[in-house]
Amino acid sequence: MSRIGKLPINVPAGVTVTVGKDNTVTVKGPKGELTQNIDGRMKIEINNGELTITRSDESKESRSLHGLYRSLLNNMVIGVSEGFRKEMELVGVGYRVSNNGQIVEFSLGYTHSIFMELPKEIKVETKMERNKNPLIMLESCDKQLLGQVCAKIRSFRKPEPYKGKGIRFVGEQVRRKSGKTAAK
């Protein structure tokens, strides 16, 4: 049995989980609503506020999907009850960020500004303070979408190893290289 797949998922108060005929799971909560299609080999049971997932056979593919779908459903339950939050900082001289609704404008040392329109499921907030790195705070109930948007933002200017400039997560450690040394 999959170690992750056999763990039950606690469904908190205020969150409802419904399973459709075509194995579509819908999770509703105070932060939003998420849906996920589940493979037909997985069976979902809801008892006493706990969600359990079992598989029909012991094939290699079924075993790997068992843990995957348990993790996806757990992230959905956590997302609609608590939500997910990511903070990113821009490290570099002259790097700026601002938002106007769902449109975020980045000034990252290129000849032009980069504009990015975020999906409506993501709440964005930007903060620029004197003598501190500009911050982007992203919040959503969908962990997959939030991670995808963060990866796209990070791809605009990845942290480089010599000076450490670029877009990184708050608290992330960037491995630094020493650079060239003068010939003697």
pLDDT of residue 183: 57
pLDDT of residue 178: 86
For 16: left if phi > 0, alpha if psi spans -120 to 50, otherwise beta; the answer is beta
Tens of pLDDT, residue by residue, the chain (184 residues): 468 888 999 999 999 999 988 889 999 999 999 999 998 889 999 988 899 999 888 888 998 899 999 999 999 999 999 999 999 999 999 999 999 999 999 999 999 999 999 999 999 999 999 999 999 999 999 999 999 999 999 999 999 999 989 999 999 898 998 888 755 5
Domains recognised in the chain with CATH numbers: 9-81 (3.90.930.12), 84-169 (3.90.930.12)
pLDDT of residue 34: 94
pLDDT of residue 180: 83
Among 168, 142, 141, 139, residue whose Cα is nearest residue 156: 168
pLDDT of residue 81: 94
Amino acid at site 123: K
pLDDT of residue 184: 59
To which H or E segment does residue 135 belong? Answer: strand 135-140
Percent of the chain at pLDDT > 90 equals 75
**pTM for this one?**
0.88
What are the backbone dihedrals phi and psi of residue 60, each rounded to the nearest 5 degrees, phi first? -60, -40
pLDDT of residue 182: 59
Mean pLDDT of the chain: 91
